[in-house]
Amino acid sequence: MENSDRDISLMELVKKGDDAAFEELVARHYQTVYKLAYRFLYDSPEAEDITQEVFFRVYKAAGTYTPKAKFSTWLYTITKNLCFNELRKKKSATIFSIEDEMLPELPSLDNSPVSKLEEAEVKQRVLDAVKALPANLRIAVLLLKYHGLSYEEVADILGCTVNAVKLRVHRAKNFLAKSIGHVSQETK
Amino acid sequence: MNCQWVQENLSAYMDDELPLKQKEMVGSHLSQCPLCKAEFDSLSEAWNSLSLWEVKHPPAHLKESIRKAVKREKTFNVMRILLPVAAVFIIALSIVFFYRELGDHDQTALITDQREMRQPGTVESVMVDDTEIIKNLQLLEEKDFYETVEVLKTIDYLPFVEEHMDQRSSMGYCAA
């Protein structure tokens, strides 16, 4: 049985009140949900809260669940929405739009000769570069890179077209290449 | 095929999201164009470096937290049904009890009123039959007669009155 079929079968059981089926669903997906929330928010306690809330909503919605798409797509959509809500709360003091896709100015990097940058520093640059991405680009990058989704699946989750996903990913990669690319060259 | 189009599709090419024909065209162009090849390499390295960012596994208590949160929701759902039912039941019982008490009070009041109406000295108008009156009078006469007989029995000498020719009367006594 494929993973997606198994998830749908489990949800049908949860709909009938099967607690063991719900626990199996949680076991299968809670790490994925946590990692996405953590990479998006950079905060472990918030990622835990989001993960808990995601499965809480899955449980509450079980009674009316109809398998229109893959269960994982639905799960990712809930996670994305909660992450965006959390981000809005944090930036509520300023005019902020999730839909804003303006890329920030690149930070001026240290150009002094360095024979080899330590891996920790590279990791930090990677983290900073991803963190600097606007929310809509960031979530697309995370879903593609760390969760192995296709453009079509990402489009379903983000509620946009495949072409929009293609454009966002292209812009994000260019930005990341400019932020991280020369670091990679220096570490060669 | 121009470099601008290729560079715009390098990302999709990397992600294997191009249709087969376009994929082949980009691949062929990259083998011939050093500028686009350099751009492709730069994008690839940046994208691959994202793999350096490993995330730890979620904390061990997270699964248990999820289970507890769901259990609380289940309990809340049960209470959400039971509480209104219990409230309706209590209200219904209260109404029944109230009206029963009110009914008992009314009955008690009615009984009390009826008793007050039947107090001594209160004359009730009663329809009486003539025959009944006559019977009662006869009974009274008989009662007087027998009472008189009883009194006479106690007397030893009876007085009598003689009437003379000259219309003078005298009284004497004879044995009873």
Tell me the C-alpha distance between A91 and B89, whole Å.
49
Chain B residues closer than 8 Å to A23 by CB: 67
Contact yes or no for A173 and B49 at CB 8 A: no
Asked, for residue A40, whether it belongs to a domain, the answer is yes
Contacts 24+ apart (CB under 8 A), A1-5: A3/A28, A3/A72, A4/A70, A4/A71, A4/A72
Chain B residues closer than 8 Å to A123 by CB: 52-53
* Number of domains into which chain A is organized: 2
- The pTM is what? 0.68
* The two structure tokens encoding residue B154: 């106690």
Same domain, A18 and A85: yes
Per-residue pLDDT of chain A (188 residues; tens, 9 = 90+): 567 889 999 999 999 989 899 999 999 999 999 999 999 998 899 999 999 999 999 999 988 888 888 899 999 999 999 999 998 887 654 545 555 666 766 655 554 433 455 777 888 888 889 999 999 999 999 999 999 999 999 999 999 999 999 999 999 999 998 887 655 444 44
First to last CA, chain A: 44
Task: Write down the pLDDT at residue A95.
Answer: 47
User: Is A67 within 8 Å of A8 (Cβ atoms)?
Assistant: yes
Q: Where are the alpha helices (DSSP H) in A42-158?
A: 44-61, 71-90, 119-132, 135-147, 151-158
Whole-angstrom CA distances from B90 to A153, B75, B84, B103 are 54, 22, 10, 20
Asked, for residue A66, whether it belongs to a domain, the answer is yes
Residues in contact with B89: Cβ distance below 8 Å, sequence separation at least 6, in sequence order: none
DSSP letter at B155? -
Q: What is the mean pLDDT of residues B41-64?
A: 88
Element (H, E) at B163: strand B157-163
Task: Write down the pLDDT at residue A112.
Answer: 41
* The two structure tokens encoding residue A64: 């009316």
Chain A residues closer than 8 Å to B47 by CB: 145, 173, 176-177
User: Is A119 within 8 Å of A129 (Cβ atoms)?
Assistant: no
Task: Write down the pLDDT at residue A187.
Answer: 47
Return the domain boundaries, chain B.
Answer: 3-52, 63-113, 130-175
**B81–chain A Cβ distance below 8 A for any pair:** no
* The two structure tokens encoding residue B163: 């009437």
Chain B residues closer than 8 Å to A31 by CB: 57-58
Instruction: Select from B11, B65, B69 the Cβ nearest to the Cβ of A170.
Output: B11
Same domain, A27 and A76: yes
State which amino acid sits at residue B76.
F
Range of the domain at A36: 3-90
More confident residue, B16 or A92: B16
Contact yes or no for A151 and B15 at CB 8 A: yes
A136: CATH: 1.10.10.10
By DSSP bridging, strand B157-163 and strand B169-175 are antiparallel
Tell me the C-alpha distance between A101 and A134, whole Å.
5
CB atoms within 10 A of CB B15: 18
Same domain, A131 and A68: no
Same domain, A68 and A143: no
The strand pairing partners of B170, in sequence order, are B162
Chain B residues closer than 8 Å to A47 by CB: 58
For residue B13, pLDDT over 70 is answered with: yes
Contact yes or no for B57 and A31 at CB 8 A: yes
3-state SS assignment for residue B116: helix
Distance from CA of B89 to the nearest CA of A (A): 28
Asked, for residue A10, whether it belongs to a domain, the answer is yes
Confidence class for position B132, pLDDT limits 50, 70, 90: confident
A67: CATH: 1.10.1740.10
Distance from CA of A35 to the nearest CA of B (A): 7
Tell me the C-alpha distance between B47 and A146, whole Å.
11
